Amino acid sequence: MATQLRLTAVCAPSDDVVAREIEGEIIIVPLASGIGDADDELFTLNETGKAIWQLLDGKRTLQDVSRELSAEFEFPAGEIERDVLGLVEELLKRRILVEVSGT
């Protein structure tokens, strides 16, 4: 059974991807097969996805990330936490992120 992602988790970009902010957009290029559904897929994030990505530095917990975004976007922390967990789960599933600690 998959371990449930907790807000105490610390995540960072995987070594299996190259990510760059180019012309205001985060572009993620998989370097290993199996990350995308096809070998030639790239990934991009919307504005709020980008805001989350930029805080996933392998140091902040997901709770820290949520708190910072809650202050920045003036949204209730509970909703932000749900959004952060949702995106991070998807990125972990695709091996774009790795969990550094905190499960």
Partner 1 sequence: MKSQGLNPSLFVRKGGELPLSGSALLELLRAVLDKGKPFRFRAKGSSMSPFVKDGDIITVSHLSGLSPRLGDVVAYVCAETGTLVVHRVVGRMGNCFLIWGDNAEGRDPVPEANVLGRVTRVERNGKDVSLCLGPERFLIAFLRRRELSWKTAHLLWRIMRPMYHWIQGLA
List interacting residues with partner 1 (CB under 8 A). Answer: 18, 20, 22-23, 27, 29, 31, 36-46, 48-49, 51-52, 69, 73, 75, 79-80, 82-84, 86-87, 90-91, 94, 96
Nearest distance from C-beta of residue 52 to partner 1, angstroms: 5
CA angle 9, 7, 50 (to 5 degrees): 85
Q: Which is nearer to partner 1, 1 or 40 (CB)?
A: 40
Q: Which is nearer to partner 1, 10 or 66 (CB)?
A: 66
How does DSSP classify residue 75? -
Nearest distance from C-beta of residue 61 to partner 1, angstroms: 17
How does DSSP classify residue 103? -
Nearest distance from C-beta of residue 2 to partner 1, angstroms: 19
Cα-flanking dihedrals φ and ψ of residue 55, to 5°?
-95, -5
Q: Which is nearer to partner 1, 1 or 76 (CB)?
A: 76
Q: CA-CA distance, 63 to 60, in Å (whole number)?
A: 8
Q: CA-CA distance, 57 to 12, in Å (whole number)?
A: 5
